[in-house]
Amino acid sequence: MNRKNLFGLTLDELIAELEPLPKFRAKQIAQNIYKHGKISFDEMTDLPKNLRAELSERYEIKIAELLTRLDSRDGLTTKFLLGFDGAAVEIVLMRHDYGNSVCISSQVGCQMGCKFCASTLKGLERNLTAAEMLAEIFFVEMFLRGDGQKLDSVVIMGTGEPLMNFDALIKMLRLLHEDYCLGMSYRKITISTCGVVPAIKKLRDEKIPVTLSISLHAPDENLRSELMPINSAFGLKTLLAAGDDYAQATGRRVTYEYILLGGVNDTEEHARRLAKILSGQLANVNLIPFNPVSERNFLPPTKSAVQKFFHFLNTHGIGATIRKEMGADVNAACGQLRAKFDGR
């Protein structure tokens, strides 16, 4: 008999599923799974033995299958490829000096077509479910607990456009935040979007103060449309207005991601235009020197171009940081491990 997977159900869903079991039992089970990481009913020793046996017959707690793992030489980055029902999904654990962070995927493949990205080369295969996204985070939390550590923050910036998988994303975030789950503060969660403007407004209306990170990558309409097809649907002006509106409504500073592509968008003139369009916004810019992808014909910027761009923004009223390069030796840029795995 096929056993139903309980992982990913909210407490209300567990209560409904386990009826006529009393609600407190459903809560015990939720805490056992999410808080204590028990993925076998036998380990739930606060439940009567006969109940554990009954549950094992009808249900399972299935998380994710580890397909492969790569560790960077400096030990700071670990990349995992996880399997969910035939789909392969990448996640990256980054050990920063301010805590452990995981970057998760929201879809298998991506339909958004950004020209510098490997994840979109085969289009969208499917959305990940809320349970699968939670399982990505949970996998890393369990991995860290094994080392006596914990997960401090979550970034939804891997493969896929999270706002194109909106309902599953919101369900997962709310579950992740629950006390009976990992109790993750919304402020420790960052959602990255390539600029799906109507969904940014929907996210604002959810009233969960997650940090919004908008992938900008160009300071004018023409160049952005060349690099990111989404710009033809929602132009730069509309996107910046949506970002500003999100910042005002949540009080959270919006991060604008800007991938520096050698000779394409990395000159002082580009920096000047970027400073102009962001002037007066509650925002900061995260500069990302392009990490070469064998399937894409872009070059990394020179070190001097990165420094000049950074200096220009910071001396013209725009707070900017340069993303620390982590795990280049394990292909940390999104989609690369999966693409290699698929192509074996």
> What is the contact surface with ligand SF4 in residues (CB under 6 A)?
110, 112-114, 117, 119-120, 159-161, 194, 334
β 99-104/87-96 pair status: antiparallel
> Is 194 a catalytic site residue?
no
Q: Is the Cβ of residue 275 or residue 288 nearer to ligand SF4 in the bound state?
A: 288
Is the Cβ of residue 293 or residue 306 nearer to ligand SF4 in the bound state? 293
- Tokens matching residue 155: 């970034």
User: Could you tell me the smallest distance in angstroms from the CB atom of residue 51 to ligand SF4?
Assistant: 43
Please list the helix, strand and coil fractions of the chain in percent, rounded to the nearest 5, in that order.
40, 20, 40
Give the shortest CB-319-to-ligand SF4 separation in angstroms: 23
- Integer-rounded Cα Rg, in Å, for the chain is 21
7 versus 224: smaller Cβ distance to ligand SF4 = 224
Closer Cβ to ligand SF4, 159 or 336, answer by number: 159
Strand partners, 256: 214, 285
Tokens representing 338 are 């999966």
Q: Smallest gap, in angstroms, from Cβ of residue 46 to ligand SF4?
A: 42
Q: Which residues contact 254 (CB under 8 A, 6 or more apart)?
A: 211, 212, 213, 214, 243, 244, 246, 247, 281, 282, 283, 284
**CA atoms of 31 and 335, how far apart (whole Å):** 33
CA distances from 294 to 46, 136, 303 (A): 52, 26, 20
Of 176, 281, 157, 268, nearest in space to 215 by CA: 157
Residue type, 184: M
Active site residue 54: no
Helix, strand or coil, per DSSP, at residue 286: strand
| Closer residue to ligand SF4 in complex, CB, 113/262 | 113
Cα(177)–Cα(209) distance, integer angstroms: 11
CB of 285 to ligand SF4, least distance (A): 17
For 45, half-sphere exposure in the C-beta direction (CA atoms, 13 angstrom radius) is 1
Q: How far is the CB of 232 from ligand SF4 (least distance, A)?
A: 14
Catalytic one among 65, 90, 141, 257?
A: 90
Q: Which residues belong to the active site? A: 90, 334
